[in-house]
């Protein structure tokens, strides 16, 4: 196991964060980021965070059950409502983009992308926009099924993250099926549909969001981390971390390659389905 050190320039200036998606998980992440911003300022960081929240969806009545929106806000853009609320309460100047992330042009002037999307196609867009000539330092992916999920912080291969043994592998590299849009099932209800409300365990989104935010907080406070993600299973009350360890990354990719040869139905579960929870140790089935 190794230690990852934060990009030094992120400790010397304001950090630009893009949150992609503000459904159940994204809204929980956005609501927690002001606390991280204030903590950074208290720790002596020169600028804290500047956050942009991006989502092209409108608020529907079903969103008002599991997401922090009221029925009086239906018909308005999620991103605008959420960011306006945060700015008014915290006296911030954060931004909202009421549109979906699309295209393939490299993202510029963004340091950390937090992906809170629920389709493989959307993850593929994040992968494409943060690679090649992009200047994004980190991509933090958060995903879940009804009662489990994962959060993984990675350094995409681009002009600021060169190929190296110690580079944090992204979710796209560890789990190639995460960006295989042919495996998306349009017939399945989204996390905001009425059918999904009945199936989704309460608090799974918030639990994963808090774990992800705690990882970021540790990275910025101490300047280094020995783990860059984890898996949580609320059904059994278990969890394990993803260590900064090239050997573990190789085993995961080997396991993912083997699983990817199976029928698509075998990949319908989350990535944590191939993890055996044995205390704090990570084992792959």
pLDDT tens for residues 222-249? 999 999 999 999 999 999 999 999 999 9
What's the pLDDT score for residue 255? 87
Locate 223 and state its tokens: 């300047």
The residue among 281 and 44 whose pLDDT is bigger is 44
Global pTM reads: 0.89
Whether the pLDDT of residue 175 is over 70: the answer is yes
pLDDT tens for residues 10-69? 999 999 999 999 999 999 999 999 999 999 999 999 999 999 999 999 999 999 988 999
Count CB neighbours of 170 within 10 A: 29
Element containing residue 96 per DSSP (H, E): strand 95-97
What's the pLDDT score for residue 199? 65
- What structural domains does the chain harbor? 4-284 (3.40.50.720)
CA-based radius of gyration for the chain: 18
What's the pLDDT score for residue 118? 87
**Percent of the chain scored above 90 by pLDDT?**
77
pLDDT tens for residues 183-212? 876 544 444 444 445 567 889 999 999 999
């Amino acid at each position: 196991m190794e230690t990852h050190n934060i990009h030094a320039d992120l400790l010397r200036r304001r950090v630009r964060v893009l949150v992609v998606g503000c459904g159940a998980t994204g809204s929980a992440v956005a609501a927690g980021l002001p606390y991280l911003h204030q903590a950074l300022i208290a720790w002596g960081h020169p600028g804290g965070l500047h956050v942009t929240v991006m989502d092209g969806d409108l608020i529907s009545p079903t969103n008002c059950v599991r997401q922090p929106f009221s029925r009086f806000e239906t018909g308005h853009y999620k991103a605008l409502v959420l960011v306006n609320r945060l700015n008014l309460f915290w006296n911030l100047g954060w931004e909202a983009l009421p549109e979906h992330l699309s295209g393939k042009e490299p993202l510029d002037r963004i340091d950390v992308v937090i992906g809170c999307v629920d389709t493989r196609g959307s993850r593929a867009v994040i992968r494409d926009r943060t690679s090649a000539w992009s200047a994004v330092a980190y991509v933090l992916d958060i995903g879940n099924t009804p009662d489990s999920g994962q959060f993984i912080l990675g350094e995409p291969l681009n002009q600021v993250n060169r190929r190296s043994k110690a580079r944090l592998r992204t979710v796209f590299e560890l789990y190639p099926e995460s960006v295989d849009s042919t495996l998306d099932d349009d017939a399945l209800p989204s996390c905001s549909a009425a059918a999904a409300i009945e199936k989704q365990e309460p608090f799974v989104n918030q639990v994963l969001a808090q774990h992800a935010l705690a990882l970021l907080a540790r990275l910025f406070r101490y300047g280094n981390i020995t783990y860059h993600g984890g898996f949580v299973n609320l059904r059994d009350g278990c969890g394990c971390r993803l260590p900064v360890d090239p050997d573990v990354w190789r085993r995961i990719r080997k396991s993912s390659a083997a699983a990817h040869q199976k029928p698509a139905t075998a990949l319908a579960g989350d990535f944590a389905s191939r993890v055996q929870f044995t205390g704090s140790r990570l084992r792959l089935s």
